[in-house]
Amino acid sequence: MTANHSTVPVLPDGLVIVVKRECETCRMVVPVITQLRGSGTTVTLYVQDDPSFPEGLNATHDADLAVSWHHDIETVPTVMRVKNGVEIERTVGWVRDEWERVTGVSGLGPDLPAFRPGCGSLSVDPDLVDRLRVRFGGSVLGARRVEVADLEDEFEAMFDRGWTDGLPVVPPTEQRVMRMLQGTTRAPSDVVAVVPPDLVEVTVEKIAINAVMAGCKPEYLPWVIAGVEAVCNDTFNIHGVLATTMPVGPVIVCNGPGTRAIGMNSGMNVFGQGNRANLTIGRAIQLVIRNVGGGRPGEVDRATHGNPGKISFCFAEDEIGSPWTSLATSRGIAPDTDALTVFPGEGPRCVVDQLARDPESLTNTFAACLRTLHNPKSVLAFDVIVVMGPEHARVYAEAGWDRERVLEELHARLQIPGDDLVRGAHGIAEGVPERLRGVTLPKFRPGGILLVHAGGGAGLFSAIIGGWANGEVGSQPVTKVVTK
């Protein structure tokens, strides 16, 4: 599909006025336009809709809205003063003082009210704007166009071409991609990352295409871009996360005021269905890995079981209700900054303690649950996210425990005697070598427990999300600032 581009119309010198018949204010100022023409002022008149309006004033029909689009007409009527083809100043709507200032003609519209707001330009009409972006701005798109036959079902076509994650995706038409790109100030051609496993450069445009397919809104795009940046590096090691036979994938924890601005869920059913931003941001990142990087199940992706979160596992931290600093702030990001943290995680498991009313007892429960992560005898190899529910967090808040105290107490309770960990102990073949029998080992490395506050306000529950192999041989959490 090739966009129909046009050159930018050059405005004639003098006054340029843009109107449309369906605008009441435009109809009201017709006598003023007549008055300006009668004053000897050069007036060029463009009408967006009815070419016969205003009667007798010989308006030029802006039929394809090229003039309105290229000259950023958002409201009609718009009056511009032009010199040497360049706009000098403008006013919109009807404000007598402003019209007199811009036109240089006094005594305009003496029988009219002093002020009347204008109407929306057709060039910003929601029903037209996407087509106009393609017609006049589509040249910024560089991706290959794929033709779908008239009788071919576009949704089935995308399944057949292997572009989906098993669920239907939204066809990424030029109009939809151009609309998605409005969510970022970055150029479509900017290279964001090199995507494993095929090590293919991915541009903002290609990310936008996959964001459309995932069902994102344009305001989600900066989060998707940051997520792609966060997973496509040696620190996170998405290639290893794909290739492992463990059931892990990117878990995206979002922080900052932007999470609330785009309506992300940080509360009830935080990991579940029903929230567009949570589900589509995570899905878009996964589609980029699949469609651009080639990370497909059964090929590079070798998970024995996988988990449903490999479609999308993205959520926001409840910072407003949290007794602690956010995860992003604990990882060096300034407060009130939009950021996300990616973690190589499995599906969440529930932590239940409905009786503890003191932090010591509750911490014992968390430690006992964390001890079993992956295997009670696995130590130091895996990180974890503890997603603290509000009712559990309240127990710590009322006792005055801050984030550091909670983590310190958890680590203290997860120092495990080597006698319990060696191979064969307690009738379990798995374990550490016999030479470590007399050594006390921590379940998690320093910094290996990430604490997040999220979930519904009712229910004495929390969750833990187990990780994959950590350190240089595996994957480490990565935090990125989100910028538009």
Within this chain, do residues 116 and 208 fall inside the same structural domain, yes or no? no
DSSP calls for 174-210: HHHHHHHHTT-SS-TT-EEEEETTTTEEEEHHHHHHH
List Cβ neighbours of 472 (8 Å cut-off, separation of 6 or more).
Answer: none
Closest CA to 465 of 374, 380, 385: 385
270 falls within a domain: yes
State the Cα–Cα distance between residues 65 and 124, nearest whole angstrom.
Answer: 10
185 falls within a domain: yes
pLDDT value of residue 7: 78
CATH for 25: 3.40.30.10
Within this chain, do residues 79 and 185 fall inside the same structural domain, yes or no? no
6 falls within a domain: no
Q: How many CB atoms lie within 10 A of CB 401?
A: 21
pLDDT value of residue 140: 82
Within this chain, do residues 195 and 344 fall inside the same structural domain, yes or no? yes
152 falls within a domain: no
Within this chain, do residues 130 and 183 fall inside the same structural domain, yes or no? no
The DSSP H or E segment spanning 451 is strand 449-453
Within this chain, do residues 72 and 103 fall inside the same structural domain, yes or no? yes
State the Cα–Cα distance between residues 297 and 280, nearest whole angstrom.
Answer: 20
Within this chain, do residues 472 and 347 fall inside the same structural domain, yes or no? yes
5 falls within a domain: no
143 falls within a domain: no
Question: Which of 104, 138, 172 is a domain's end point?
Answer: 138
Question: Which of 106, 138, 170 is a domain's end point?
Answer: 138
Within this chain, do residues 280 and 193 fall inside the same structural domain, yes or no? yes
Q: Which runs of E-coded beta strand occur in 33-159?
A: 43-47, 60-61, 75-76, 78-83, 86-92, 94-95, 115-116, 119-120
Within this chain, do residues 225 and 129 fall inside the same structural domain, yes or no? no
55 falls within a domain: yes
Q: Return the SS3 of 398.
A: helix
Within this chain, do residues 444 and 412 fall inside the same structural domain, yes or no? yes
Phi, psi dihedrals of residue 462, rounded to the nearest 5° = -140, -175
By CB atoms closer than 10 A (0-12, 13-18, 19+), residue 300 is middle
Give the gyration radius of the chain's Cα atoms.
30
State the Cα–Cα distance between residues 410 and 104, nearest whole angstrom.
Answer: 75
Closest CA to 248 of 14, 475, 6, 10: 475
pLDDT in tens, the chain (484 residues): 334 445 789 999 999 999 999 999 999 999 999 999 999 999 999 999 999 999 999 999 999 999 999 999 999 999 999 999 999 999 999 999 999 999 999 999 999 999 999 999 999 999 999 899 888 876 788 898 898 888 899 999 999 999 999 999 999 999 999 999 999 999 999 999 999 999 999 999 999 999 999 999 999 999 999 999 999 999 999 999 999 999 999 999 999 999 999 999 999 999 999 999 999 999 999 999 999 999 999 999 999 999 999 999 999 999 999 999 999 999 999 999 999 999 999 999 999 999 999 999 999 999 999 999 999 999 999 999 999 999 999 999 999 999 999 999 999 999 999 999 999 999 999 999 999 999 999 999 999 999 999 999 999 999 999 999 998 889 999 999 999 9
- Ordered alpha helix ranges (H), 13-123: 24-28, 30-38, 66-70, 96-103
394 falls within a domain: yes
pLDDT value of residue 460: 96
Domain range holding 88?
A: 14-138
Within this chain, do residues 325 and 214 fall inside the same structural domain, yes or no? yes
Q: How many CB atoms lie within 10 A of CB 280?
A: 24
Within this chain, do residues 190 and 51 fall inside the same structural domain, yes or no? no
List Cβ neighbours of 90 (8 Å cut-off, separation of 6 or more).
Answer: 78, 79, 80, 81, 102
Total domains in the chain come to: 2
